[in-house]
Amino acid sequence: MKNLLSRFEDKKPEIVFEWKDTQTEAEGWIVINSLRGGAAGGGTRMRKGLDRREVESLAKTMEVKFTVSGPPIGGAKSGINFDPTDPRKKGVLERWFKVVTPLLKNYYGTGGDLNIDEIVEVIPITENYGLWHPQEGVLNGHFNVRENERIHQIGQLRYGVSKVLEDLKYTPDLRRKYKVADMITGYGVSESVKYYYEMVGTGCKKKKAIIQGWGNVAASAGYYLSQLGVEIVGIIDKEGGVLNSRGFTKLEIERLFLERKGNAINTEHLIPFDEINEEIWNIGAEIFIPAAASRLVSKKHVTCLINNGLEVIASGANVPFADREIFYGPVMEFTDNNVSLIPDFIANCGMARVFAYLMQPNIEISDDAIFSDTSNVIFKAMKAIFDLSKERINLSSRAYEIALAQLI
């Protein structure tokens, strides 16, 4: 597996697009690892300090993810090195999408990612430059559909991704008008944990969990896990967090979800970051959800968690471990060898799967149909891992074997 993974990691990307803004210090890259199947897909992110290497690693991660979520296309990623809190952000995005529209029209599909909102930013800006949808390039490059079919499938994409949730099984509050794109990735993370515990025969009810982050993915994963009976004992965000060794109630987690301030936890009981960062890793939990930024989880963190009862990690963030390597560096390998590690390309494939589902002709577009489809895809991926071996460790190693067999 390591040899195949190294070959995949070391292969140079097929296309690299580089951009420097003329009006600010912003710079950006699109990395298309390959045009497998005639197209590539991957979201657009923005953060200060981002570089080409990060974008390249995420493009390769997306290619692996598509072996689970479908469609069978290449991986790509867009990244902009710019402070997302800067008031000039909108202008930067407008100039960025203007120059990358030809790629998005023909063979590259994108969406939201870290600090970029699919519905509020990506879709409206790309519409202004003549795109019917930011996934149009996948429909043209991979599916090669006729114009009348393309209009129909783009209609499905436009409606399905932005669909307001109406089923209380999937949303905590009908009045807030949460959309599919807001909730689906965290839902998939939660489902991966549910299926893991079903497959090892214990169930997840009463298991304790720690959540890293409290943005869309982390908060929705925490919300859905709580609905399954998992007891959230700690949440750590970039500004601080909360702890409760007995576990927060479902109502308390729901309130923390609804009262978020942007993508940050918002509570009068906030424990400062330095303080909670000393305590949370030793509080004791069977489940850990890293769902903040990439490359934050160290070997020290994992060791503390394992020493205090950790059983499974489900990665809400892409590339969550503090490794230089794109895939399976020493921290990830140590983790995979010592605890059940559900890899990012399975656990957080929800949004990629929604795109793949909505690109199919004449599908049902309802809350239950969309969420059940994502759940079924994650179930199949988890089952394939356990069909290879019932062993609780080396889940990620087996998952990569399955994926790489399709790519190399």
pLDDT range class, residue 397, cuts 50, 70, 90: very high
For 304, residues 6+ apart whose C-beta sits below 8 A from its C-beta are 281, 282
Residues 207 and 119 in one domain: no
Residues 156 and 298 in one domain: no
Residues 233 and 128 in one domain: no
* Average pLDDT rounded to a whole number, residues 302-318: 97
Over residues 150-183, the pLDDT tens digits come to 788 899 998 999 899 999 999 999 999 999 999 9
User: Quick one: pLDDT at residue 6?
Assistant: 86
Domain assignment of residue 180, given as a range:
174-406
Is 5 part of a structural domain of the chain? no
Residues 157 and 178 in one domain: no
Q: Which of 139, 161, 183 is the last residue of a domain?
A: 161
Over residues 272-291, the pLDDT tens digits come to 999 999 999 999 999 999 99
Is 322 part of a structural domain of the chain? yes
Over residues 66-117, the pLDDT tens digits come to 999 999 999 999 999 999 999 999 999 999 999 999 999 999 999 998 899 9
* Average pLDDT rounded to a whole number, residues 33-56: 95
Is 388 part of a structural domain of the chain? yes
Residues 249 and 343 in one domain: yes
User: Quick one: pLDDT at residue 146?
Assistant: 75
Is 354 part of a structural domain of the chain? yes
Is it the case that residue 294 has pLDDT exceeding 90?
A: no
Is 169 part of a structural domain of the chain? no
Is it the case that residue 32 has pLDDT exceeding 90?
A: yes
Q: Which of 116, 135, 161 is the last residue of a domain?
A: 161
The distance from CA 89 to its chain's CA centroid, rounded to whole angstroms, is 22
* CB-based contact 14:32 (threshold 8 Å): yes
Is it the case that residue 145 has pLDDT exceeding 80?
A: no
Residues 214 and 97 in one domain: no
Residues 232 and 145 in one domain: no
Residues 200 and 321 in one domain: yes
Q: Which of 132, 161, 190 is the last residue of a domain?
A: 161
Is it the case that residue 128 has pLDDT exceeding 90?
A: yes
Cα distance between residue 38 and residue 59, in whole Å: 16
pLDDT range class, residue 136, cuts 50, 70, 90: very high
Cα distance between residue 341 and residue 158, in whole Å: 34
Residues 182 and 207 in one domain: yes
For 355, residues 6+ apart whose C-beta sits below 8 A from its C-beta are 41, 69, 109, 111, 135, 138, 157, 161
User: Quick one: pLDDT at residue 280?
Assistant: 98
pLDDT range class, residue 326, cuts 50, 70, 90: confident
Residues 55 and 200 in one domain: no
Q: How many domains does the chain have?
A: 2
Residues 43 and 69 in one domain: yes
Q: What is the CATH number of the domain that holds 388?
A: 3.40.50.720
Is 1 part of a structural domain of the chain? no
User: Quick one: pLDDT at residue 361?
Assistant: 87
Cα distance between residue 351 and residue 216, in whole Å: 12
* Average pLDDT rounded to a whole number, residues 120-144: 94
Residues 202 and 250 in one domain: yes
Is 81 part of a structural domain of the chain? yes
pLDDT range class, residue 259, cuts 50, 70, 90: very high
Is 188 part of a structural domain of the chain? yes
Is it the case that residue 142 has pLDDT exceeding 80?
A: yes
What is the residue-wise DSSP string for 107-126?
Answer: TEE--BBTTB-IIIIIHHHH
Tell me if the pTM is above 0.85.
Answer: yes
Q: What is the CATH number of the domain that holds 83?
A: 3.40.50.10860
Over residues 186-207, the pLDDT tens digits come to 999 999 999 999 999 999 999 9
User: Quick one: pLDDT at residue 168?
Assistant: 95
**Site of tokens 């460790």:** 393
